[in-house]
């Protein structure tokens, strides 16, 4: 009995987490995405998902489950909304980079597939010809997806470059084609928006006044046919901490154990600091 209770005490002593990382489980992220999807279905109504690879791949795939729309072939069924992936990396993540350019610049590793997407049957109507790489995106509600909004550098790049492609595509249409299209709108979804102590490096023209009661129609649309500003959704907010995603861990059972333990101990909650008023 003595040795057993001493083992229990020892067990108790060792119940600490090894670092200050905020660990999130697959299940937590799945549920968070479900809640965000409900809001986005009511508000932004995405037509196409643009995950930024690699981080956006899992959030986008889960989101798709919650963003199905009625099939146009058989209205008793639902269909998935299309996905058009883009690959972005900071220089540091790829090989063959000089030391001084690391971490400063975003590079493309995959971009919109000119041709295929706009020819695919995902389009409600065949896309206008001559619209370039963004052909399949014109007149759509485009949801850019990533796992975390940290420095905002990658998200700014993705938004600006997609916007430029869309504007170029719209400008290449003749006026009748352009008039026939609904507005093209942009939104961003991230699992976590990280409150950085030093602020964000990247800048996004967040849509002014976006709130719970907002509807798509409340967004102003510019002369170019593009909604002004970008809708912004995050499933959760975190402080300036290290977030460990389940898909990045080599030992998922240990990851989950530490996530549960941290909750029990009330540490590494990921919460942003309470604002002083």
Q: Tell me how far, at minimum, the Cβ of 142 lies from its own copies, in Å.
A: 14
As measured in angstroms, the least distance from the Cβ of 152 to its own copies is: 21
Q: Tell me how far, at minimum, the Cβ of 13 lies from its own copies, in Å.
A: 27
150 is an active site residue: yes
Residue from the set 43, 44, 52, 122 that interacts with its own copies by CB under 8 A: 122
Task: For residue 149, list its beta bridge partners.
Answer: 193
| Residue 206, token pair as written in the block | 């967040």
What would the two tokens of residue 157 be? 């790049």
Please name which of 183, 225, 190 lies closest in space to residue 206, comparing C-alpha atoms. Answer: 190
Among residues 146, 150, 165, 236, the one annotated as catalytic is: 150
Nearer to its own copies, 7 or 252 (CB): 252
The answer to whether 31 contacts its own copies (rule: CB under 8 A) is yes
- Tokens 């990382």 label which residue? 21
x/- letters, 39..68, toward its own copies (CB under 8 A): ------------x-xx--xx-xxx-xxx--
Examine residue 252 and tell whether it contacts its own copies (CB under 8 A): yes
- Nearest-CA neighbor of 19 among 271, 267, 272? 267
Residue 167's contacts (CB-CB under 8 Å, 6 or more residues apart) are 224, 226
Cα 193 from chain centroid?
10
Q: Which is nearer to its own copies, 59 or 227 (CB)?
A: 59
Where helices occur in the chain by DSSP H, the ranges are: 2-13, 26-42, 57-66, 116-119, 153-171, 175-180, 252-265
Minimal CA–CA distance to 270: which of 217, 195, 176, 184? Answer: 195
Q: Applying CB under 8 A, does 97 fall inside the site for its own copies?
A: yes
Residues binding its own copies (CB under 8 A): 26-27, 30-31, 34, 51, 53-54, 57-58, 60-62, 64-66, 71-73, 79-80, 82-85, 87, 89, 91-97, 99, 102, 107-114, 116-117, 120-124, 246-250, 252-253, 256
Catalytic residues: 150
């Amino acid at each position: 009995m003595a040795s057993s209770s001493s083992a229990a005490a020892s067990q108790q002593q060792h119940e600490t987490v090894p670092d200050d990382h905020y660990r999130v489980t697959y299940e937590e992220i799945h549920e968070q995405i479900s809640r965000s999807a409900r809001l986005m279905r009511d508000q932004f109504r995405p037509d196409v998902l643009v995950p930024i690879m690699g981080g956006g791949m899992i959030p986008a795939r889960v989101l798709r489950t919650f963003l199905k729309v009625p099939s146009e072939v058989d209205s008793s069924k639902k269909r998935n909304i299309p996905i058009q992936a883009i690959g972005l990396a900071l220089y540091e993540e790829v090989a063959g980079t000089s030391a001084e350019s690391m971490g400063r610049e975003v590079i493309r590793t995959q971009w919109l597939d000119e041709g295929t997407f706009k020819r695919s049957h995902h389009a409600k109507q065949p896309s206008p010809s001559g619209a370039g790489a963004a052909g399949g995106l014109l007149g759509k509600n485009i949801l850019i997806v990533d796992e975390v909004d940290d420095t905002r550098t990658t998200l700014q790049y993705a938004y600006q470059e997609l916007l430029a492609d869309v504007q170029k595509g719209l400008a290449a249409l003749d006026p009748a084609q352009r008039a026939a299209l609904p507005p093209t709108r942009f939104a961003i979804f991230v699992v976590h928006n990280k409150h950085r102590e030093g602020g964000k490096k990247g800048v996004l023209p967040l849509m002014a006044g976006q709130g719970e009661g907002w509807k798509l129609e409340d967004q102003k649309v510019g002369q170019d046919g593009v909604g002004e500003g970008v809708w912004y959704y995050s499933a959760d907010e975190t402080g300036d901490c290290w977030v460990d995603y389940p898909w990045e861990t080599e030992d998922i059972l240990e990851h989950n154990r530490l996530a549960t333990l941290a909750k029990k101990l009330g540490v590494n909650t990921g919460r942003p600091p309470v604002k002083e008023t």
